[in-house]
């Protein structure tokens, strides 16, 4: 598909609005799963680590499948993927209301809802990047606040629905609300150029004409298959009969059904079909090899390699608070009368503020988005180290707000990825990075829950989380030092498909 230049406005603002509501509707419940987490602990009586898998899968499986999600968006477009994913999210939430045990929730809530959210996230980010260039940071910041606003509203909404209709009724209502994603997805019009030259032929279209046999008017596909089946039956019958009977039957069949020219045409078509299959398999294999070659080229970029380590460690350590902070407060014996607002809601609203603020900062020429992202990682690590010292609602609320604001660095992560590998490689590179982010999301909460099951306190778990995030931040900072650019400039030129993030320049 050929795209024209990003308009940085126009229908792009409609894309921003519908992408905002798409992320609001699909991520509201999975991000606010901490409210459901407490109900599932009481309903099924499983350990904290085992129960935490539900929420971690819902937030991680979509990112784990990011390479597949990217291929789906590239192949089918954002609009069809968004509409299909809306059915997945709504269906998974409704199925979860009938869950008889925690293992059923792993599939219905963790895998089905999580995969639908991953497809929707990739679709909204990709189509927004196509519509915006100069204002990309602002646009990404606006759409990414949708999930944070959803977290803020759904945390209180799900608690209220549980009080009124129970856990099952809450999930049914939330699933019904998610059907509005279908309306949002229908407005994701692809950015196509009507006056552009026709797109280049795909690999299958480039197969030489002599390998295509079905375009001829002489025989249809069904007739060719029928001829092959008849030839197979005649051959099988001939092998099971005496020679004199074989000759008699074959002569009769030849005289009654086909002439010499038809027999030659049949043989020619069999050869052509065989050649076509071989050529098609060869081209498909070449596409597969090209994909892995492009992946290898991406990992030759030192910043990209450090980025995937940083995002993995950040999600292992930084994601658990949004899922477990309510249980942290309950484990600290904080009186429920002191609650002025759910801690998860505080994380949600401050994440929205952080995404919008960091997204706006990313558009300033004097701001280097890579260094800005590194700063958020280091500050997140320090805040995680402070959680074990918080013994009151006020201190936990303050730390929740800080962590929520810093988690808003998700809005600039696509921006950093684009500047690192280029817009042409964005879908490919972003899918790989989101795979590692999903791995971190899936592992983080269960690890923290297992630490609690072993030690009966959260202190050790959050020390481990803070160390992971700080390690990822320092590794990325080391890879981004300007001295590496000087060494690169003195060395030989990079291959044409290699992209280098020049941290000395403005991002």
Last residue of a domain, one of 169, 194, 219: 194
Place of tokens 């080391």: 478
Last residue of a domain, one of 132, 166, 194: 194
- Classify residue 366: in a domain, yes or no: yes
- Classify residue 32: in a domain, yes or no: yes
Collapsing DSSP to helix, strand or coil, 201 comes out as coil
Q: Say whether both 125 and 5 belong to one domain.
A: yes
| Predicted pLDDT at 500 | 40
Instruction: Tell me the pTM.
Output: 0.64
| 35: its two tokens | 């409210």
Q: In 132-179, where does DSSP find H-type helix?
A: 136-178
- Classify residue 329: in a domain, yes or no: yes
Domain count, the chain: 2
Rounded distance between C-alpha atoms, residue 288 and residue 381, angstroms: 39
Query: Residue 495: phi, psi to the nearest 5?
Result: -60, 155
Q: Say whether both 289 and 178 belong to one domain.
A: no
| 217: its two tokens | 């008017």
| Predicted pLDDT at 169 | 93
| Predicted pLDDT at 355 | 80
Per-residue pLDDT of the chain (507 residues; tens, 9 = 90+): 444 566 777 788 899 999 999 999 998 888 888 888 888 988 888 888 888 889 888 888 877 777 788 788 878 888 999 999 999 999 999 999 999 999 999 999 999 999 999 899 888 988 888 888 777 777 877 887 788 788 888 988 998 899 899 999 999 999 999 999 999 999 988 876 544 454 444 444 444 444 334 444 444 444 444 544 444 444 444 444 455 444 555 455 544 555 555 656 766 666 667 777 777 677 767 666 776 777 777 777 788 788 888 888 998 888 888 777 877 887 777 776 666 777 888 888 888 888 888 878 887 878 888 888 899 999 999 999 998 888 888 888 899 899 989 988 877 887 788 777 776 677 677 777 877 887 888 888 888 888 888 888 888 888 988 999 999 889 888 887 776 555 444 443 444 443 344 333 333
Last residue of a domain, one of 150, 168, 194: 194
Residue 504 near residue 485, CB atoms below 8 Å: yes
Q: Say whether both 302 and 166 belong to one domain.
A: no
Domain containing 353 equals 280-485
- Classify residue 222: in a domain, yes or no: no
| 264: its two tokens | 């030659």
Residue 382 near residue 466, CB atoms below 8 Å: yes
Query: Residue 365: phi, psi to the nearest 5?
Result: -65, -30
Domain of 73: which CATH number? Answer: 1.20.1250.20
| Predicted pLDDT at 180 | 94
- Classify residue 217: in a domain, yes or no: no
């Amino acid at each position: 598909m050929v795209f024209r230049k990003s308009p940085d406005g126009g229908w792009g603002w409609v894309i921003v609005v519908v992408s905002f509501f798409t992320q609001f509707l699909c991520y509201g419940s999975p991000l606010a799963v901490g409210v459901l987490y407490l109900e599932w602990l009481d309903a099924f009586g499983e350990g904290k680590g085992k129960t935490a898998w539900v929420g971690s899968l819902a937030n991680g499986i979509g990112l784990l499948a990011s390479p597949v999600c990217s291929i789906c968006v590239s192949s089918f477009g954002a609009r069809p993927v968004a509409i299909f994913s809306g059915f997945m999210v709504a269906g998974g939430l409704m199925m979860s209301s009938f869950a008889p045990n925690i293992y059923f929730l792993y599939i219905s809530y963790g895998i089905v809802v999580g995969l639908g959210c991953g497809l929707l996230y990739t679709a909204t980010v990709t189509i927004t990047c196509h519509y915006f260039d100069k204002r990309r940071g602002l646009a990404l910041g606006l759409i990414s606040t949708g999930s944070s606003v959803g977290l803020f509203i759904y945390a209180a909404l799900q608690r209220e629905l549980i009080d009124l209709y129970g856990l099952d009724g809450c999930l049914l209502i939330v699933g019904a609300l998610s059907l509005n994603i279908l309306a949002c997805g229908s407005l994701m019009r692809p950015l196509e150029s009507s006056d552009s030259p026709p797109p280049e032929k795909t690999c299958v279209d480039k197969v030489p004409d002599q390998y295509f046999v079905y375009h001829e008017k002489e025989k249809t596909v069904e007739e060719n298959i029928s001829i092959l089946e008849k030839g197979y039956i005649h051959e099988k019958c001939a092998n099971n009969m005496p020679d004199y009977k074989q000759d008699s039957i074959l002569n009769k069949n030849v005289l009654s059904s086909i002439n010499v020219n038809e027999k030659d045409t049949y043989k020619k078509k069999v050869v052509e079909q065989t050649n076509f299959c071989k050529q098609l398999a060869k081209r498909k294999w070449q596409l597969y090899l090209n994909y892995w070659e492009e992946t290898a080229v991406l990992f030759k970029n030192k910043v990209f390699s450090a980025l995937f380590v940083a995002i993995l460690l950040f999600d292992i350590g930084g994601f658990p608070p949004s899922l477990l902070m309510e249980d942290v407060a309950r484990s600290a014996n904080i009186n429920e009368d002191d609650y002025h607002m759910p801690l998860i809601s505080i994380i949600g609203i401050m994440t929205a503020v952080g995404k919008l603020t960091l997204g706006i900062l990313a558009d300033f020429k004097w701001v280097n988005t890579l260094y800005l992202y590194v700063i958020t990682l280091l500050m997140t690590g320090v805040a995680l180290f402070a959680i074990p010292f918080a013994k009151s609602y006020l201190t936990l609320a303050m730390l929740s707000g800080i962590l929520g604001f810093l988690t808003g660095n998700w809005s600039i992560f696509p921006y950093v990825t684009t500047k690192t590998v280029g817009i042409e490689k964005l879908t490919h590179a972003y899918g790989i990075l989101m795979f590692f982010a999903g791995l971190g999301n899936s592992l983080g909460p269960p690890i923290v829950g297992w630490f609690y099951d072993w030690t009966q306190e959260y202190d050790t778990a959050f020390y481990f989380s803070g160390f992971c995030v700080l390690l990822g931040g320092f590794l990325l900072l080391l890879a981004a030092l300007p001295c590496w650019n000087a060494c690169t400039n003195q060395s030989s030129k990079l291959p044409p498909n290699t992209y280098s993030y020049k941290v000395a320049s403005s991002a």
